[in-house]
Amino acid sequence: MMTVSRNKLTKKDITNMSLLSAVLQLGFNYERMQAMGFCFTMAPYFKKIYGDNTEEVAAAMTNNIDFINTEMHMATFLNGLILSLEEAGEDRELIRNIKNGLFGPLAGLGDAIFWFTLLPISAAIAVSLNKQGSILGPIVYMVIHFFGAISRVPLGHLGYNLGTNAIDLIRDNATAITKAAGVLGVMVVGALIPSYVNFSFPETFVIFDVVPVQGIFDTILPNMLPLGFVLFLHYLIKNKNVNAVQLIFGIIVVSIILSFFGIM
């Protein structure tokens, strides 16, 4: 393998590869999950590196058609990293080990940032705009996620430039960032509860003939019912292993029953 000649990738190549990496989940399946998209993202650049040496291209591709499942933006980072290693002629076994060691932690990190932080915040902003009847809601949402989408370009470059240094970097910061994203996400969820979960009894639901039940709760702590409701659902999910579909059905059934008796 030592005598293989390699072409250099340009900055533009890495940018294009990063854009291409959007295909990651095309062809997603339960056997190898994102294997096809992950491999195809890099394939044109393997070809660029090895030129007409189809044998090497095939070897590099085969090395990357294994099972992989990670977060989309982090995949781009990993693609950049692998291309830099491939270009440097690193041992393919090593490359595969690095890939297999990193995709899990990277998934956690990426999910924390994109799914658990960016998504609820952008949704919250957009929903509040929607509720005011403004078309800014969807527009702002698309703009935010447009930037989310193209953030894969610097991530791809980062992976490429760091090369093997990437491994230490991830080890040092993954916990801190995941933790930080947790704080952010949890606080936003807390803030969403009063605005978006609409759990209240109608004026007409009274006890002792005159005392409206909702008034009692509002006197003690406004929005305590939505809060309690979410915490109760969380308890069911976490401790009773109830799944989302069961919850949704349950809520619909209970809602209809409460509606029938005029309680809600």
Partner 1 sequence: MEITLVQGLLLALVAFIGSLDQQMEVFLIFRPIIVCFFSGIVLGDVQLGLSSGAVAELAYLGLLTIGGTVPPNPLIAGIMTTVIAYTSGVSAEAALGLSLPFALLGQWIGMILSTLYSGLMKFADDICARGDVAALGRLIALAAFGKALVSAVVIFLSAYLIQEPITVLVSQFPEWLIHGFRVAGNLLPGVGLALLLKVMLKVDNVAYLFIGFIIATYVEMGNVLPIAIIAVCITFLSYINSKDRQAYDVGGVDDDGI
Footprint of a copy of itself on this chain (CB under 8 A)? 125, 129, 132, 134, 136, 140, 216, 219-220
Contact partner, 216, from partner 1, ligand MAN, a copy of itself, none, Cβ < 5-8 Å per class: a copy of itself
Using CB under 6 A, count the residues that bind ligand MAN. Answer: 8
CA angle 70, 100, 115 (to 5 degrees): 15
Interactions with partner 1, residue window 5-34 (CB under 8 A): 22-33
Selected from 111, 113, 160, 170, the binder of ligand MAN by CB under 6 A is: 111
Residue 110 vs 137, nearer CB to ligand MAN: 110
Phi, psi for 33 (deg, rounded to 5): 55, -110
| 128 contributes a contact to ligand MAN by CB under 6 A | no
175 binds partner 1 (CB under 8 A): yes
CA separation for the pair 31, 99 (Å, rounded):
18
Helix 165-196 / helix 119-131 crossing angle, nearest 10 deg: 30
- 112, 181 in Cβ contact below 8 A? yes
Contact flag: residue 217 with partner 1 (CB under 8 A): no
Q: Confirm if 50 and 57 have CB atoms less than 8 A apart.
A: yes
206 φ, ψ to 5°?
Answer: -120, 160
Q: Does 174 bind ligand MAN (CB under 6 A)?
A: no
The interface with partner 1 within residues 68-107 (CB under 8 A) comprises 69, 72, 105, 107
Nearer to ligand MAN, 86 or 111 (CB): 111
| Cβ pair 22, 76 in contact under 8 A | no
Does the footprint of partner 1 cover residue 124 (CB under 8 A)? yes
Handedness of CA 120, 78, 100, 22 (dihedral sign): positive
Here the tokens at position 140 are 């702002």
- 165 makes contact, choosing from partner 1, ligand MAN, a copy of itself, none, with CB < 5 to 8 Å by partner type, with none
CA atoms within 13 A on the CB side of 95: 24
Q: Does 69 engage in binding with ligand MAN (CB under 6 A)?
A: yes
148 binds, among partner 1, ligand MAN, a copy of itself, none (CB under 5 to 8 A by kind): partner 1
Q: How far is the CB of 145 from ligand MAN (least distance, A)?
A: 14
Contact 183, 37 (CB under 8 A): no
Positions touching ligand MAN (CB under 6 A) are 33-34, 69-71, 107, 110-111
